[in-house]
Amino acid sequence: MTVLVDAATRVVVQGITGHQGTVHARAMREFGTHVVAGVTPGKGGSEVEGVPVFDSVREAVGKAGANASCLFVPAPFAKDALLEAVDAGIRLCVLVTEHIPFHDMLVMYHYARAKGTRIIGPNCPGIAAPGASKVGIIPNVVFRPGHVGVISRSGTLTYEIVNGIKEHGLGQSTCIGLGGDPIVGTSFVDALPLFERDPETELLVLVGEIGGTAEEEAAEMIAERFSKPVVAYIAGRSAPAGKRMGHAGAIISRGRGTAASKVAALEKAGARVARFPYEVSEIVAEISRQRARR
């Protein structure tokens, strides 16, 4: 069992005829993902990397059986593309696109929730379950199947930490890159119960960053109703107040969202918090050895 994606996931790539859509559709297929369709209005009837292209998501669902979407649609058109996917019956949308207007994401978030569709992103690397499926842009080479779950707000830190886990001889159950924008479709508290219920996940890595209160809210849930070991890392310890660091959501304001407050909350909840990214995989390996000796 994995989280949100599995061997039955059938992906439609919205924007497949663009450079990024083509490159990552190929990479997803190399990972083992069933990429069954692409969508670019006006280019229906063509093929990209052997994948049939349709004019609409409804066609991709009806003719190719797509049940998940990966969106490589430019920000000005992302809202319409996502709403189209939701209306076509897609229930998992990975929104890789960055620079989506704040108010567009508000509409997308609430519309998708009302229709029962889960959004991952925007501005995210996506989701991967090694040996099963990948929807997004996380590099294939960093993965191996295993029992460590990963939830992260940072794309590049996700790659580094997941690769470190692999280099320690361990593997991942599912990895979810949530995205770093102020409004995301799936938060830590949305993802934690999924990993709690997943029998393949024995240990969880949580990668956060400054800005907002998502990590503090996650810490409350971990303390109250998450039974598995948690290893965490918070990026941005040296960030000055009021300055955005990387992601649109990574900004400290009015004393809230600091790295110190997040670290304190997670440690109080019982998580092991690393000071540097490379320490995450070392702590994961240590906990895994201790569990193996029991």
Residue whose pair of structure tokens reads 């219920």 in the numeric block: 197
Compute CA 72 distance to the chain's CA centroid, rounded to the nearest angstrom: 15
Residue 263 one-letter amino acid: V
- Told to judge if 247 belongs to the known catalytic residues of this protein, a careful annotator would answer yes
| Alpha-carbon distances of 138 from 18, 118, 163, rounded to whole Å | 18, 19, 11
Closest CA to 281 of 175, 157, 153, 167: 167
Q: In sequence order, what are the beta bridge partners of 61?
A: none
Closest CA to 78 of 134, 121, 33: 121
Q: For 112, list phi and psi in degrees, rounded to 5.
A: -65, -45
| Nearest-angstrom CA–CA distance, 30 and 252 | 40
| Nearest-angstrom CA–CA distance, 202 and 179 | 24
Q: Which of 34, 147, 168, 247 is catalytic?
A: 247
Q: Are 93 and 118 in contact (CB under 8 A)?
A: yes
Relative orientation angle of helices 75-87 and 102-115, to the nearest 10 degrees: 10
Helices and strands (H and E) in the chain: how many: 9, 14
| Nearest-angstrom CA–CA distance, 267 and 219 | 8
Cβ contacts of 95 within 8 Å, gap of 6 or more: 71, 78, 82, 108, 119, 120, 121, 122, 123, 124, 179, 185
The set of catalytic residues is 247
